[in-house]
Amino acid sequence: MTELRSILDEAVRQELISPEAGGRLLPFLIERGVAVAGAPGMVAEEQAWSDTETPRFVRGFHDVLITIGVIVALVGLWGLAPLYAVPAAIIVLSEILVRRQRLALPAVSLTIALFCWTWPLMSGFFPPWAQTSGSFGAEVTQLVAGFPIILGVYYARYRVPLALALSIMSTLAFVLTLLLRLVQWVSGNPTFFADHLAVLAAVSLVCALCLFATALYFDLGDRLRRTTRSDIAFWLHLGAAPAMLYSTVSLLSFEESGRIFDLANMSARTPVVVATVAALMLIGLVIDRRAFVTSGLLSLGVAIFSVFRHGSATVDTYIYTTLIVVGAIVLIIGTGWMPLRRMLLRALPPAIANRLPPG
């Protein structure tokens, strides 16, 4: 069955069938006995896939070698050639490595390179520093508007899941700037958010929740994670977790000095960070996304580090203690992921548990 699934995945990558058709074909063929001789049944197959969360862009060292070459060549080109030579190189490499050879990791690196190139391009046309301090002007909105267009066109051509995920995230960032400008216009104060940080955090949290809902839409649409919808959801979850963390912490404990999330002085908000990260870990367990949990671990480490830093421990003591605590949490969650998740699924109503990936 695993071999049959890999064949259908390859057909999807070569655009012989759509991802949705590939997801429906596998159970259809299995029900009619089309499977590898001696292959395990559906239950065993579900257990095999749910034990790990393997990103599909990691396939072998050949991809790693090609990716290193792509990165080195683009960095050199960026330093020597004009700005407009970079997208030409990205397109040529994408036609060869992505559209023809279907190399996954180089596709990710080329997508990131296109994203990085879009920033200086849009900054040249609409410099964000031209606006008034403390306000969100038209320059920011126009700068962000270029990202979903460029990345959307790239996805339409090469079908890289990361490109669509970045396009969705940049679209929500564009919507966020529009909402901020609308609030400023209604209030009649161009520096409204400099005096009302809670409103800024609340609007940011709404957009972060929309990003998480979009990730769930793709995730629940591919419950067994056999199509590219799962890959798109992987990248969206990777961006949704820190967005939800920072906006939630900012909303619950913003500083009077005007700084939203100052990592250098966060001892007062440490309990908020720990509670928020714990909630994100619980959500990650329920939806079976280790990537969602991993995104919050860095901030958890910073929070624990802050607790020991403001105590009587020496520098070496609180650094190593932070590493031990975070490492222990990672090991406990990592080794006990499946038993913990089964406990959570049994506690959920069947109508919800049956829509989630099996435990």
Instruction: Evaluate if residue 153 carries a pLDDT over 50.
Output: yes
The rounded distance, in Å, linking the Cα atoms of 250 and 243 is 11
pLDDT in tens, 187-208: 887 777 777 777 888 888 999 9
pLDDT interval class at 214 (50, 70, 90): very high
Q: Is 113 left (phi over 0), alpha (psi -120 to 50) or beta?
A: alpha
The rounded distance, in Å, linking the Cα atoms of 251 and 254 is 6
pLDDT interval class at 320 (50, 70, 90): confident
Residue type at 127? P
Cβ pair 115, 151 in contact under 8 A? yes
Exposed e or buried b for every residue in 250-287, given b needs 16+ CB within 10 A?
bbbbbeeeeebbeeeebeebbebbeebbeebbebbbbb
Instruction: Evaluate if residue 348 carries a pLDDT over 70.
Output: yes
DSSP 96: I
| Least confident residue range of 68-82, 176-190, 212-226 | 176-190
Residue 281: both structure tokens together: 């870990």
Q: Hunting for tokens 């992921």 — which residue is that?
A: 337
Cβ pair 42, 28 in contact under 8 A? no
- Domain spans of the chain, in order of start: 60-195
Cβ pair 163, 171 in contact under 8 A? no
Question: What integer pLDDT is reported at residue 167 of this predicted model?
Answer: 96
Interval 291-304 mean pLDDT = 71
pLDDT interval class at 257 (50, 70, 90): very low
Question: What integer pLDDT is reported at residue 36 of this predicted model?
Answer: 45
Question: What integer pLDDT is reported at residue 11 of this predicted model?
Answer: 76
Question: What integer pLDDT is reported at residue 42 of this predicted model?
Answer: 38
pLDDT in tens, 89-139: 999 999 999 998 888 899 999 999 999 999 888 887 766 555 545 556 677
| Least confident residue range of 180-184, 259-263, 325-329, 330-334 | 259-263
Question: What integer pLDDT is reported at residue 47 of this predicted model?
Answer: 41
Instruction: Evaluate if residue 340 carries a pLDDT over 60.
Output: yes
